[in-house]
Amino acid sequence: MSVKFNEIKFSYLEVTQFTTWFFASISDDDGFATDVEFTNADLSYPSAKLMSEMFTELKKNSSDINETSLMSVLDVKKPILGRSETATALSAIRSAILQLESLHKGISLVEHLGGTYKEVVPLYANINRGLFLTDRTPKSFAKAAEQAANEGFKIIKCAPFDEVNSSQGTNRILDSAQHGINRIKEIRNAIGPDFDVLIDCHGRFNLPAALVMSDVLSELNISWFEEPLETEEHMDSLIELKANTSIPIAGGESMYGTLSFSEALNSDVLDIIMPDLKYCGGASEAVEIGKMAINLGKGYSPHSPSGPISLLLSGHATAAIEGAMYLEHAVHEYALRNVILTPSELIQDGNLIIPKGIGLGGRLNHEFIEKYGVYFTP
End-to-end CA distance of the chain: give it in Å, rounded: 29
Which domains, ranges and CATH numbers included, belong to the chain? 5-106+366-376 (3.30.390.10), 120-363 (3.20.20.120)
Q: Are 75 and 120 in contact (CB under 8 A)?
A: no
pLDDT per residue over 164-192, tens digit each?
998 888 999 999 999 999 999 999 999 99
Q: What is the widest separation between alpha-carbon atoms in the chain? A: 62
Q: Which residues contact 349 (CB under 8 A, 6 or more apart)?
A: 151, 152
Other beta carbons within 10 angstroms of residue 75's beta carbon come to 7
Q: What is the pTM of this model?
A: 0.96
Q: CA of 366: how far to CAs of 12, 13, 29, 34, 369, in Å?
A: 11, 11, 20, 12, 5
pLDDT of 63 > 80? The answer is no
- Per residue in 25-47, pLDDT (tens digit) is 999 999 999 999 999 999 999 99
Q: Label residue 195 by pLDDT band (50, 70, 90).
A: very high
Model pLDDT for residues 246-259, shown as the tens digit of each residue: 999 999 999 999 99
Residue 62 has pLDDT above 70, yes or no: no
CB atoms within 10 A of CB 188: 18
* SS3 call for 356: coil
The pLDDT of 283-308, averaged and rounded, is: 97
